[in-house]
Amino acid sequence: MSLLEISPVERGVVTLFGVRSELFVAMSSKGKLYGSVQFTDECKFKEKLLANNYNAYESVAYPGMYMGLSKAGKTKKGNRISTAMTVTHFLPRI
């Protein structure tokens, strides 16, 4: 289990930072999630509130690509998923 710190960058845009790994979550142009030591535009995600009160995170650098995790916790390619799929639904804890 990992703890991600969600921090606002600008209105509706956040960054996700791994507390233990000390890496930013980023998305490449091919939709692959990776950890980045430096904060770049690939580390920015638009936070979208869905109708079911979950959040979805869309890449700012690559619009239309969403962060997604399978049931087993493996990352899904952002260019192959949409907000209609439950793999993109996240419930942030405060």
**For domain 4-88, is the CATH number 1.10.275.10?**
no
- 1: pLDDT confidence band, cut at 50, 70 and 90? low
Give the single-character DSSP code of 69. B
Q: Residues 15-53: pLDDT tens digits?
A: 999 999 999 999 999 999 999 999 999 999 999 999 888
Between 12 and 84, the more confident residue is 12
Give the whole-number percent of the chain exceeding pLDDT 90. 63
CA end-to-end span of the chain: 17
pTM: 0.89
Cβ proximity of 49 and 55 under 8 Å? yes
Listed by start position, the domains of the chain span: 4-88
